[in-house]
Structure 1
Amino acid sequence: MSHLSVSRAFKWSCLLLMLPFLRISVSAQTAGSGPDILKHVDPFIGTAGHGHVFLGANVPYGAVQLGPSNIMQTWDKFNGWDWCSGYNYISKEILGFTHTHLSGTGIGDLNDILVLPANGKAMLRPAKFNNMNSGYGSGFSHEKEKCSPGFYSVHLDKYNVDVRLTTSARVGFHEYHFGKTDNAHLLVDLSFGMGWDAATNTYFRQLDDSTFLGYRFSSGWAKDQRVFFAMRLSTGVKRMELYEDTLKLEGNEAQNKRLKALLYLDLSKDAIVKIKVGLSPVSPENALANIEVEIPHWDFDKALSAAEEKWNGELSKIVIDADEKVKKIFYTSLYHTLFFPSVFNDVTREYRGTDKKVYTDPGFHNHTIYSLWDTYRGLHPLMTIIHPEKVNDQIRSFLEIYKQQGKLPVWHLQGNETNTMVGYPAVPIIVDAYLKGYRNYDIKLAYEAVRHSAMQQSDGIQYLQKMQFIPADSVVESVAKAQEYAISDWCIAQMAKDMGKMDDHKYFSERSKLYNQYFDRSTGHMRGRLSVDQWRTPFNPFNAAHRQNDYCEGNGWQYTWLVPHDVPGLISLFGGDKLFLNKLDSLFTVPAAGLNADASPDISGMIGQYAHGNEPNHHIPYLYNYAGQPWKGADRIRQVMDTFYTDRPDGICGNEDAGEMSAWYVLSAIGFYPVNPANGQYVFGSPIIKEATINVGQNRRFNIRVLNQGRKNNYIQKILLNGRPYTKSYILHRDIVSGGDMTIEMGAHPSKTFGLNVSDRPR
């Protein structure tokens, strides 16, 4: 039975009639470019070690991430964990090229719609590790592999095929140069998946000799992922064979769980074959329309130029002057912040919701891949500075998810809620946007949604509603959850206050202080409390059992500082600035060892017990400003930038986490970071650029000039803001986005005045 129903065929024809108008819209969105920033980006940074970074071709916020998929090497220490993106630099083989990838996450999924150009004997199962003759796939060398923003190329040794890849937002463009044409064919493996992912239903249909439609449904981290596709070749195929795993099927259409297709080509020597693969969350017809709108031609270089123009436009929103190594790390980091959240609709703006219903044009671009526990801390505040045109779409995406699944997103993946990590991390993002004046959405619904998050009856939230601590013997990760809840409750209180909801303001302000229920003065640490109102014993602040103890991917040393919404309150728990500073100093100087064998691998990038490889630590070096010693934070911030961000493939010390690790570097390199993710304050650290021009939208620029920049000049001496002395050790969001000029003078010794006065400290 055909899956192109009459109604869908009619809808497809209507879409095609709209193409001229849709093309005008797309062209208008991509017009304009900036300076040649791309030469400073090295996409291989973060592809080795625990970076888990995607390598391949994409465009900013694109639905397609087209790149190689390796063999997941399960013999390694972390049982394949370092292949969560589908690629790791240490691999020497490529199984094929897939159209969706995660980047920097701690769980593997996606790698949908595998395509492999091949010749010789057709193979239907992937090769095994260290035995490429056992199945499909090829060895390759890094010497014949290149990647830059919007572009990937490699030579497949086994098949003597040169591959070039580029993309638009919703279309992957392949170009294959066949140096060997013996039994040349394309393998399309819809059963292929990596990590947690496995196909549940697949479909493939030949529409004509060069056009194919289908879908791949799967379950993994995303329990009900649905991706529809259309594939168009530049040359017709001489025949097609369909298989259920290795069982050959009859006909030009099939549906089963493990579907594969062989498309045989009639090629002369040195032939070039081009393929366009459109993706859609809605239907194969929409995927075909996406191709016709976004890449209606067969000019690979033209498509590549369009992708590069998009990257140049986004990356040039911050133009810096710095030494070449800093530029490379900085622009690669900025590049990483632009992968996600990815667009999750078609050129018509239709999308499939969390409830699996198809929604017509909602008036905004829907997005997915929200690693919110990570990105609420730095990436989304960065977005409010350099991507103001996208912020309202993010909030509207959140609110649609709320309506469809009954709660705000936690970790949203391809229209699925994974419920990964702790807290209700969409709340700080919504409140931060609201307080910064982003309000092109249903504000009443937004408040309803954030308040609903805090009134759920699960994961210990029910105890907070009674103003009680969360018992560690009833709720796992009780301390981490309580601290994350407190941050979000503070945010809700601020939104309530601004909206005149004073009873809610009082209630959530009180709840935001409940973090103090876990502070043990005798040890100077946050620790778990039992239902009988006793501390959990024995207590070892070094101890960290992955997702099994009172913390989430951390230990008592690290979670003691997770109070970014009320640092003065945390200081008072210690007994004042001096005792607070003594303990904070100790965090960086106690032994880095002491973690038990089942500690989370996310605890990485260690300075003492400070773990930069995990996001709940990211604000900690900036806490020195709150106690009047910003120079100590400056030293640690420089140490982190110099040690844990390098220009090598293993140049990121922990999971990239959908851009958050890189967002920390981008913000810190230009001189500040949002300790509190929603109060509009950015705390000064130690800039490593000489100059920066930040495009903050509406034809405004914020210019930063750093005097006496140098490797040993870590310390801010004084600041001029728009020509006037500025003594505070933080800057406000409104001062940045209003545009203007800031001059920062650095020195080799701590200033005797900057940031010392209580009135000049962040709060």
Structure 2
Amino acid sequence: MKILKQSGSFLLWVLALTSLISCSNSEQAAPTEELINYVDPYIGSGGHGHVFVGASVPFGAVQLGPNNETQGWDWCSGYHYSDSLIIGFAHTQLSGTGIGDLGDLLFMPVDGAFTSENDPKNPFDWKSGYTHDDEVVEPGYYHIKINRFNVDVELTTTERVGFHKYLFQNEGNSKVIVDLKYGTGWDQLTQGLVEQVGEKSIQGFRMSKGWANDQRVFFYTEFSKPIKQFEVIRSSEETGTATAVIEFEGNGELLVKTAISPVGIEGAKNNLTTELNNWNFAAAKKNAQQAWNTELGKVRIETSNATQKKIFYTALYHSMIAPSLFNDANGDYRGTDREVHKNPGFETYTTFSLWDTYRAAHPLFTIVQPERVNDFVNSMLAIYQQQGKLPVWHLMGCETNTMVGYHGVPVVVDAYLKGFDGFDAELAFEAVKASALRDERGLDFIKERGYIPADSQVESVAKALEYAIDDWCIAAMAKAMGKTEDFELFSKRAKYYQNYFDKNTQHMRGKMDDGSWRSPFNPIASLHRNDDYCEGNAWQYTWLVPQDVEGLVDLFGGEEQFILKLDSLFSIDPIRLEGSSNDITGLIGQYAHGNEPSHHITYMYAYVGQQWKTAEKVRQIYDEMYTDQPDGLSGNEDCGQMSAWYIMSTMGFYPVNPANGDYVFGSPLFDKVEIKLPAGKSFTVIAENNSDKNIYIQSVELNGETYDRSYISHEAIMAGGTLKFVMGPEPNKAFGAANAARPHSGY
């Protein structure tokens, strides 16, 4: 009996242990949370967000998505939520820009009965109506029903290959239109070719000019069925092939794989073989979505607010559409010099919207995409070697020179000062210095006179203020490298913003050749690209001194006057004059969150000891400028910058100075944020007592120790640990008030 009891106890112990092991294994084997479920790619596809809608992988070369026929400003990405007519699916798209381009290689499935009328007044006579009820939009996947031809379309991608799945449901044969004429916005076909090269394959190229003035896209396509008939229906001696129709026997399923290359058709063919050598659409979709889950999983948030969680992960998703890959699978790429360059040993990127992204998107990448930062910088240095300066706004191997400043500089300098060493530091300094010493875009006046006369250049104030930010960055790099003479030169130039400050109006103003102020003066006036500012007015540009906030305070005559003027920015009537720039949007007073020059301004209160006002303003922006609706962005997404502001701010901090390595505290939105760092480390942000009313920081701890500063360094974040905010409903005006606790702009 005793033995039986012991045996029974032993059996119970074994069963209990087995159960524990089973539970443990079950927990370990539980699937990782599918963060793509919190992404809504429709956010920003309405209003003026201009975001890309379709299938892609993070930072991929292919953005495969639907295109509307409309060519207005709000269709810069080729698609707008308000539209209901589709003309096909192009393999390259922009996301959030204010200028349209790309839309290369448009494919459209139609039924066998379709015949083009070839009417120049109706070039896309295959267009079809659709409804959003028939769309499914997810990271890495897109589905739509084409009503006119009764075709279900599914799309997914690899980095360089677009994968289509068509289900033709009408009786008879099926057809696919391949159109090279279409391009988004300003893009125009200059030379095209589509030709059949095998029983199931076609190849060709599309050359165009537009925003990118010499764009070249080569492609190779395989179909899962033999081609029954190949016909070119539109062509000319001037442009070559514009449109082809490819017919297949019967209806049912047709799979289409199209690889692209900036180098050549053979490169595209190799990309297809390398990345997608099977016909398993479900597996390709799974891989694309897993790639998104992996990248989204680098930041995990905890909140009971499902809407805010959706907005956050959609923002994180949007921040990783650009920059985009610009090389073949073997590493070859086409340079800004239009020559083909062999594998340089790093991934080459394009789509650098630097006037926007230097402010927060690239600093964000140094935290959540550190493995890509060296490639971004090396891509910029290669561009410098090929065109003599760092990229300004680089698109598909072309320098567009769009917007003001030479903002490759802060991206390179920030990477260097944060310890990234996968690039040639001496070459990097050569590049930043050379970019600043050219005689273009008003720089000759900067070198000779310290300011750009308003009667010699448009956007003179905007140019000079942005140049001063970049020059501060060059000085910081020079100091770190022991280059004393360069440090002194660019430190002096970084102060040239002072030449535009009018103490009487307390605004940055245009200064004429004779030294007088431009008159008459209206601080809320802004004519698009035809005045002293760039997509803004004097109210917004007066604060564009993130590299020397202390110096700006001195210009105002002290902290009291600075605070009074800053308060006024947010309270003055939020009006826009007729004819003003379309980019002055998202107004709180004259603060314009819809455009990038304003993005750092709310955080300037911390520099004068009033961090609590920063908390108020950023919470207001969360609530008013970001929603989960198609018009949920207050301005253009601008290749991730609008989203990067939200990502960093809601985590609790923001990089006012783009290259000094410090992040200023605002008001954390989520109960907990965990950032996955290299080497198995993590940095956790906890907001205790967080709520819609408890928006003010009461106290802070870093790794269990009291922390009284209103900012944190990049080094502290990357070391890993825990930052805890204790939040409350009333301001703790003492927090961050002491001079020693405030952020600083210095080197």
Bin of the TM-score, shorter chain as denominator length: over 0.9
Gap runs ≥5 in structure 2: 1-29
CA contact (8 A) 1:56 1:151 kept: yes
Tell whether 2:249 aligns with 1:266: yes
Q: Is the 8 A contact 1:544 1:554 kept in 2?
A: yes
1:628 corresponds to which residue? 609
Residue 549 (structure 2) aligns with: 567
In structure 2, how many angstroms separate the alpha carbons of the residues matched to 1:181 and 1:115? 21
Letter of the 1:210 partner, please give it: K
C-alpha contact 1:387 1:697 (8 A) present in aligned 2: no
Corresponding residue of 2:703: 722
SS at match of 2:429: helix
- After superposition, the C-alpha distances for 1:293-319 in whole angstroms (9 at most, x for unaligned) are 111110111000000110001000000
5 Å matches for 1:602-641?
A: 602-641=583-622
CA-CA distance at 1:463 after TM superposition: 2.1
Query: 1:115 matched to which residue of 2?
Result: 107
**Matched residue type, 1:455:** L
How big is the shift at 1:753? 2.0
Aligned to 1:104: 96
Name the residue aligned to 1:224: 214
The structural deviation recorded for 1:257 is: 3.5
Secondary structure at the counterpart of residue 309 of structure 1: helix
Structure 2 counterpart SS, 1:687: coil
- Note if contact 1:50-1:82 (Cα within 8 Å) is conserved in structure 2: yes
CA 1:289–1:502: 2 relative to 1, 3 Å: same
3-state SS in 2 of match to 1:231:
strand
Change in CA separation of 1:661 and 1:506 when aligned onto 2, cut-off 3 Å: same
After TM superposition, give the deviation of residue 256 of structure 1 in Å: 3.9
Residue 465 of structure 1 deviates from its aligned partner by 1.7
> Counterpart in 1 of 2:482?
500
Match of 1:557 among 532, 535, 539: 539
**Local SS of the residue matching 2:266:** helix
How far did residue 125 of structure 1 move?
5.4
Are 2:461 and 1:479 equivalent residues in the alignment? yes
Aligned 8 A contact 2:189 2:239 in 1: no
1:459-608 mapped onto 2 (5 Å cutoff)? 459-593=441-575, 595-608=576-589
Instruction: Kindly indicate whether residue 373 of structure 2 is the aligned counterpart of residue 380 of structure 1.
Output: no
- The one of 298, 309, 325 equivalent to 2:279 is 298
Q: Distance in 1 between matches of 2:435 and 2:94?
A: 26
Query: Structure 1 length normalisation: TM-score?
Result: 0.92
Once the two structures are superposed, the pairs formed by residues 343-362 of structure 1 within 5 Å of their partners are 343-362=325-344
Choose from 161, 165, 174 the match for 2:164: 174
Q: Is the 8 A contact 1:33 1:310 kept in 2?
A: no
Question: Does structure 1 retain, via aligned residues, the 8 Å contact 2:469–2:546?
Answer: yes
1:213 Cα shift? Answer: 0.9
Identify the match of residue 265 of structure 2 among 278, 284, 290.
284
Using the size of structure 2 for normalisation, the TM-score is 0.94
Q: Does 1:63 align with 2:61?
A: yes
**Structure 2 residue corresponding to 1:313, chosen from 294, 297, 300:** 294
> Using a 3 Å threshold, how does the CA distance of structure 1 residues 531 and 589 change in structure 2: closer, same or farther?
same
Amino acid at match of 1:171: V
Measure, in 2, the Cα distance between the counterparts of 1:492 and 1:703: 32
Partners of 2:65 and 2:308 in 1: CA distance: 27
Equivalent residue letter for 2:265: P
Match of 2:191 in 1: 201
Unaligned runs of 5+ in 1: 1-31, 74-79, 248-253
- Among 693, 699, 702, the residue aligned to 1:712: 693
Distance in 2 of aligned mates of 1:196 and 1:390 = 31
Amino acid of the residue matched to residue 173 of structure 1?
F
Matched residue, 2:130: 140
**Which stretch shifts more, 329-338 or 499-508?**
499-508
- Tell me the CA shift for residue 205 of structure 1: 1.8
> What CA deviation, in whole Å up to 9, does each residue of 1:503-529 have, x standing for no partner?
110111011011011001100100011
Paired amino acid for 1:220: G
Shift of 1:183: 4.2
Q: 1:436 aligns with which of 385, 409, 418?
A: 418
Asked if the contact 2:450/2:493 (under 8 Å) is kept, the reply is: no
**Given residue 126 of structure 2, which amino acid in structure 1 is its aligned partner?**
Y
Q: Cα deviation per residue 1:437-486 (whole Å; 9 max; x = unaligned)? A: 01211111111110011111122211222352211111111111110010
Give aligned pairs, total. Answer: 713
Q: Distance in 2 between matches of 1:112 and 1:596?
A: 37
Aligned to 2:12: none
Q: Give the direction of change, closer, same or farther, for the CA distance of 1:283–1:124 in structure 2 (3 Å limit).
A: farther
For 2:546 and 2:120, the matched residues in 1 are separated by 49
Superposed displacement of residue 700, structure 1? 1.0
* Distance (whole Å) between structure 1 residues aligned to residue 435 and residue 610 of structure 2: 37
Kept in 1, the 8 Å contact 2:663–2:711? The answer is yes
Corresponding position: 1:188 with 2:178: yes
Tell me what 2:49 maps to. 51
Give the letter for the 1:365 counterpart. E
Deviation at 1:126, TM superposition (A): 8.7
Is the contact between residue 219 and residue 260 of structure 2 (CA under 8 Å) also seen in structure 1? yes
After superposition, the C-alpha distances for 1:122-171 in whole angstroms (9 at most, x for unaligned) are 2265997xx99x81111001001010000000000000000000000000
Aligned counterpart, 1:645 = 626
Cα distance, 1:291 vs. partner? Answer: 1.1
Cα distance between partner residues in 2 of 1:100 and 1:524: 45
Distance 1:349 1:458 in 2: 33
Counterpart CA distance in 1 for 2:171 and 2:635 is 43
Change (3 A) 1:523 1:33: farther
Give distance in 2, aligned partners of 1:290 and 1:191: 24
Match of 2:433 in 1: 451
Q: Residue 34 of structure 1: CA displacement?
A: 5.3
- Which residue identity lines up with residue 722 of structure 1 in the other structure? N
**Higher CA-based Rg:** 2
Provide the rounded CA distance (Å) in 2 between the counterparts of 1:191 and 1:470. Answer: 42
Q: In the alignment, residue 631 of structure 1 is paired with which amino acid?
A: W
Q: Deviations over 1:551-574 (max 9, x none)?
A: 001000000000000000001111
C-alpha separation between the residues in 2 aligned to 1:335 and 1:663? Answer: 10
Say if 1:718 and 1:744, in contact at 8 Å, map to a contact too. Answer: yes
Which residue of 35, 38, 56 maps to 1:37? Answer: 35
Rounded Cα–Cα distance in structure 2 between residues aligned with 1:682 and 1:597:
37
Residue 413 (str. 1) matches residue 406 (str. 2)? no
| Paired AA for residue 241 in structure 1 | E
Q: Does 1:338 align with 2:328?
A: no
Moved more, 665-674 or 184-193: 184-193
1:235 partner amino acid? K
Whole-angstrom CA distance in 2 between matches of 1:380 and 1:194: 26
CA distance in 2, matches of 1:64, 1:179: 28
Q: Give yes or no for contact 1:545–1:596 (8 Å, CA) kept in 2.
A: no
The aligned counterpart of 1:16 is none
8 Å CA contact 2:665, 2:710 repeated in 1: yes
Partner SS for 1:205: strand
Equivalent residue number for residue 18 of structure 2: none
- What amino acid maps onto 1:200 in structure 2? T
Residue 154 (1) aligns with residue 152 (2) = no
Runs of 4+ with deviation above 4 angstroms: 124-128
Taking only the aligned residue pairs, the percentage that are identical comes to: 51
SS of equivalent residue, structure 1 residue 147? strand
Q: 3-state SS of the aligned residue for 1:297?
A: coil
CA RMSD of aligned residues (A): 1.5
Separation (CA, whole Å) in 1 of partners of 2:32 and 2:324 = 22
Q: Is the 8 A contact 1:287 1:346 kept in 2?
A: yes
Q: Does the aligned pair in 2 maintain the 1:378–1:663 contact within 8 Å?
A: yes
Q: 2:671 aligns with which of 690, 696, 706?
A: 690
